Copies of this chain bind each other. A is one copy, B any other.
Amino acid sequence: MGNQPIRIAVDAMGGDHAPREIVRGAILGARQHKVGLQLVGRPEAIEEELARIDHKDVDYQIVPASEVIEMDEHPAQALRKKKDASVVVAAKCVKKGESQGLVAAGSTGAAMAAALFNIGRIDGIDRPAIGVVLPSISKSCLLLDAGANADCTPEMLTQFALMGSIYMQNVYGVQRPRVGLLNIGEEEGKGNLFVNEAFPLLRDYKPIHFIGNVEGKDLFNGGVDVAVCDGFTGNVALKSAEGVMKMFGNIIKMELKRTWQAKLSYLLGKSAFDNAKNRVDPEEFGGALLLGIDGVCVISHGGSHARGIQNAVRVAKGAIERDVLGKISQNIREGCVSHESA
């Protein structure tokens, strides 16, 4: 990996603001982070966007793909029907080794399925998980699974814990990442049957540093580095958090319009409010990771603008550079037992 220049395949057609914001963000990210690009999609649409922006110093190539999977399509069905979908072609670029990472802002389900079918899993990993780095005041927490597997076996959580620990250690520089089991109380024995089965497996799993149960609030207070849960619970936690922040932000905005003092406060505090908003903005974090796929995959928010894609390129580059996947493979080979299959 060391000397080969890094190249990232970007699905230029996926996302609410594709292709414009995607192409712009990819070019900005490639320039800032010094990586090459494969821009995948309808060539004329991509070229039209490229013509509008400065891209002379960026090493890119356009990879044609004639179809696009829409946000509301059923992932597996869409994949069967649209063999030449941009996200599929982009995943194949990674499989062939032309790129080392994939960035996609379209349907999460479609990107997941495209990666799974076209790139495949890391040997020994039963199911890939979606990992999301959450905003916080101090130390960020990686939540996984944030939605890839609605139903999980307790054993799967040990693999999530391993992958998450390796990611946080290598990309965020966290020594001995603290792994917590997302639960509804801190004491052992709390929670439902599923977490009660998972608890002893995590406790006895040597490669990780398990600190016990954590609660929803701990995801955002720096109390844990890696929080593991089934994909249903993780997705509900994530979307509830997004929803309440949006609501709270709107309430503050409304209150700051009520009196002239409040209006003046808003004007004076504008940049502080913008900073606060940016610090919790999913676009700032660049997107979710598909951990367990045998190629770096970053899935950006469907509503991503150029900044979100630019940051997704940063996230992908970080995972490639630190060889997160290689380290996961190595750990699996050295002792992690696969639970479902050989």
Contact = CB atoms under 8 A, between A and B. Distances in A.
A276 B247 contact: no
How many monomers of this chain does the complex have?
2
Nearest to A267: B265
A269 interface: yes
B192 A230 contact: yes
Given A150-B192, A272-B265, A280-B248, A216 B239 contact: yes
A236 interface: yes
Contacts of A245: 244-245, 248
B272 A255 contact: yes
Interface residues of A, number: 63
A123 interface: no
B232 A217 contact: no
Interface in A243-261: 243-252, 254-256, 258-259, 261
A179 B251 CA distance: 24
A182 interface: yes
B215 A239 contact: yes
A228 interface: no
Contact of A150 (B191, B219, B247, B249): B191
A16 to B, nearest CB: 16
Interface string A171-208: 00000000000101000001111010000000000000
20 contacts: A135-B247, A137-B250, A184-B231, A216-B235, A216-B241, A217-B239, A219-B240, A219-B243, A221-B243, A229-B236, A233-B233, A241-B243, A244-B245, A248-B248, A248-B249, A248-B276, A252-B272, A256-B269, A259-B272, A261-B271
Q: 10 closest Cβ contacts across the A-B interface? A: A265-B269, A216-B239, A217-B243, A216-B240, A265-B268, A255-B272, A184-B235, A150-B192, A241-B244, A220-B247
